[in-house]
Structure 1
Amino acid sequence: MKRMRMTFRSCVGAAALAALAVPALVPGEVALAATNAESAQLNEAVTALRGISTMRADFVQTDRTGQSVTGTLTLKRPGRIRFQYEKSVNMLIVSDGKALTMIDYDVNQVQRWPISNSPLGALLDPNRDVAKFGTVRPTGNPNVVSVEVRDSKHPEYGVITLIFTRKPSAPGGLELTYWVALDSQNKRTTIQLKNQRYGVPVTDNDFRWNDPRRRTRR
């Protein structure tokens, strides 16, 4: 479990960044070489993501060694997300719309990523012009759409591949079923979603957390 936790810490940030970065896709920034069909699929994916106001889902997170942990994801647009991990992983990842925070209760450590300096900026600040590039990748299945996202100006953010499945009851008719985050060190993290529930009651209190360094709640 100790080795697993160390590996988990090294990739968990990238996985969470992926989750928040995906709705920042901008259809007008598709590479010019994209075909009309690819552009249409990318527009579908963007519409599906932007159609989510709130969502809860179960997830399985798997690292490059094959180690997996489970948990519950809660999302409220714009910019709020919570990864509540299983009890064996005494960690939490939360974005309150201003910063992404990882809390490790085993070592009483808190790490924060400023959203203004991350790919999350376009999602959390609609007025900010942040270059994003989405490329549709062939899947061989008309019911599955794969979109690769990378910021060419910031290769250190890595590459994120989003996999959608056509589902009439999902926002925009597409459901995000999993994503793969590959960081700049080629560390791969996969998040698979299931039991997605849309439009569920979610409040700002869902994105508060207990600071292990002090007793007051943030």
Structure 2
Amino acid sequence: MSVPGQENAPEAAVLSKADQAWLARIEQTLNSVTTFKARMQQLDAEGKRTTGTVWMQRPGQMRLAYDAPTPLLLVANDGKVVFRDNELDQTTVIPMDRTPLGLLLRQNVRLSGDVTVTGFSHENGLLEVSLVRTAAPGDGSLTLVFYQTPLALRSWSVVDAQGRETRVTLFDMHDGVSIPAGTFTLPAQPE
């Protein structure tokens, strides 16, 4: 029986001991990376493909700068994700704890407790793990894909609260990089 105002608990994936060992290695890998810069290719819910550069600095900072002529910019900082569309002159602000991307930007990434693993697969040299916030699975899901050898983040896919999926694939990734000051300055936001 569900309690009014509360979502049903997400269904956790059934994990073998080997799966749990992989998840522990994934946690360790994610927590060992504090900064990275990579080129990216994004495929949005409408099938539109864009490219750009992504910078991440944990905890809590990310910037996705899209190549021209795409007029989009996404910056995560100060506990929020700000999405700017210069063509539409539109800015959207989402609290970081209400977006699946916030799970990747935490100080300490954990794949248990307030995070539920809803899917895990290991095939063709790739590991795929799907996550939701345990208390708010309706906010969307995050699926992370890793190369198995060496263990490294390859891509992520976010399904938002409306069920729209955006997939970001990383290439030419460099971790431990120095990130220029101002990279995570948030775009101007509506009052």
TM-score under structure 1 length normalisation:
0.70
| 2:9 equivalent in structure 1 | none
Aligned partner letter, 2:28: T
Deviation at 1:73, TM superposition (A): 0.2
**Structure 2 CA distance for partners of 1:32 and 1:94, relative to 1, 3 Å:** closer
Q: 1:75-131: CA deviations, max 9, x gaps?
A: 1111100000011111211012321111122233222112344553795476xx971
> What secondary structure is seen at the aligned counterpart in 1 of 2:131?
strand
Which structure shows the higher helix fraction?
A: 1
Aligned partner letter, 2:159: L
CA distance in 1, matches of 2:104, 2:148: 26
Unaligned 5+ segments in structure 1 are: 1-30, 169-173
**Residue among 132, 136, 159 paired with 1:182:** 159
Which structure shows the higher strand fraction?
A: 2
Aligned partner letter, 2:21: A
Deviation at 1:204, TM superposition (A): 4.1
Deviation at 1:136, TM superposition (A): 5.1
| 1:146 equivalent in structure 2 | 128
TM-score under structure 2 length normalisation:
0.78
| 1:89 equivalent in structure 2 | 70
CA distance in 2, matches of 1:32, 1:146: 12
The runs of 4+ residues in structure 1 deviating greater than 4 Å are: 116-119, 121-126
Deviation at 1:202, TM superposition (A): 0.9
CA distance in 1, matches of 2:131, 2:58: 20
CA RMSD of aligned residues (A): 2.8
* Mapping for residues 125-204 of structure 1, pairs under 5 Å: 131-135=114-118, 137-141=120-124, 143-168=125-150, 174-204=151-181
Q: Does 1:108 align with 2:72?
A: no
Aligned partner letter, 2:173: Q
Tell me the percent identity: 25
Unaligned 5+ segments in structure 2 are: 1-11
Q: 1:134-180: CA deviations, max 9, x gaps?
A: 25523333x32111112343232222221100344xxxxx1111122
